[in-house]
Amino acid sequence: MTQSPPKSQGSVHAPHLYPPYTSSVRRAPHERLIPLPAALEGLHGPVFGAGRLRPDDHDTTRNARVNGEPLGERIIVRGRLLDGSGRPIRGALIETWQANAAGRYVHGRDEHDAPLDPNFTGTARMLTGGNGEYELISIRPGAYPWGNHPNAWRPAHIHFSVFGTNFTQRLVSQMYFPGDPLLAHDPIYQGIPDEKGRQRLISRFDLNLTRPGWALGYRFDIVLGGGAQTPFEEPGHDE
């Protein structure tokens, strides 16, 4: 079932309420919003430094290993975090989480009957470098059923969280893989009103980044603001 995207209202970001994505009906505000005190915007924290990260925190094939390699297709994702003018953002914390190769999360609410992987949690974190670059080494996630509509399956995706200088400055998005036929049927992806915006969530295969005999490489840049901004999710869109 292919969903028609909502009409653009000058933003590439998904709306709070998009009925084809049924969870948004429950999560969207139904009462007038209450402004938070401006003082919250001045909180300076958390402060992250390279010393707080373990050397393998960016590598899900190693950071949860117990007694062997995690199962699945290894991937390398590399990109840059940029501001709206294309300038690199240095020293920013990026966190990622994802399902395993069988399409299951390590989460108590995930009732999918696919197997868990004892050597894989699907979580990673990294700081951007001097040129705004980051690198994630992981396993390509599997698709999974999610009950939004009949025979609904989420396309393979990785969640990206970008932190600013405090807890109020957090942006969350999803990265998809090129050529995935499930994208045409996914209301979370299709809920983004701008076609160009949707395309910015699809990573690019990169043969030069591919490591011979070991892992496929993908490029995925994240842009905060401006005409090429990456679409971000409304709070609570966590599937």
Residues noted as catalytic: 105, 144, 154, 157, 159
Kindly state the tokens that stand for 92.
Answer: 């920013």
DSSP state of 183: G
CB 191 within 8 A of CB 5: yes
Segment (H or E) for 25: helix 22-27
Tokens of 33: 């919003």
Residue 7, sorted as left (phi over 0), alpha (psi -120 to 50) or beta, turns out to be beta
Q: Are 142 and 133 in contact (CB under 8 A)?
A: no
Beta bridge partners of 80: 133
Whether 232 contacts 171, CB under 8 Å? yes
How many Å apart are CA 82 and CA 88, to the nearest integer? 5
d(CA 59, CA 234): 27
Please provide the size of the chain in residues. 239
